[in-house]
Structure 1
Amino acid sequence: MSRKIKSCPKDGTYTLSSECPVCGGKTGVAHPPRYSPQDRFGKFRRVTKKNA
């Protein structure tokens, strides 16, 4: 059984559970998305990240 490590976006804590043990917030996947040169939505993602 493999489990993926997750991180809390609020305080940066790494955990295996879906809830942060420090602040109780929701955790997300700690790994970046897979790179693809044929990424159709990369341009929109970069613009959104730049404006945020």
Structure 2
Amino acid sequence: MRFQLRKCTECGEYTLKETCKKCDKSTKSVHPAKFSPDDRYLRYRIAEKE
């Protein structure tokens, strides 16, 4: 099993769980997606950031 740090979208608390134990909201991974030079959707993500 691979542990990845997660962050609550509501209160900003860091945890390893899928839900925050402070406010019971869902958490989001804080790690970026892997980079691949063959990524077919790269231009869409770049356009979304701008």
Query: Is the shorter-chain TM-score for this pair beyond 0.5, marking a shared fold?
Result: yes
Question: Separation in 1 of the partners of 2:45 and 2:26?
Answer: 22
Q: Matched residue of 1:23: which SS? A: coil
Structure 1 range deviating more: 26-35 or 2-11: 2-11
- Structure 1 position 22, deviation (Å): 3.3
- With normalisation by structure 2, the TM-score equals 0.71
- Percent identity reads 34
* Match in the other structure for 1:36: 36
Alignment correspondent of 1:46: 46
More strand by share: 2
- Pair 1:24 & 2:24 matched: yes
User: How does the TM-score come out when normalised to structure 1?
Assistant: 0.69
CA shift, 1:10, in A, is 3.3
Gaps of 5+ in 2: none
Q: State the alpha-carbon separation in 2 of the partners of residues 33 and 11 from structure 1.
A: 23
* Count, aligned residues: 50
Deviation at residue 3 of structure 1 after TM alignment? 2.3
CA–CA distance in structure 2, aligned partners of residues 34 and 6 of structure 1: 16
* Superposed CA RMSD: 1.7
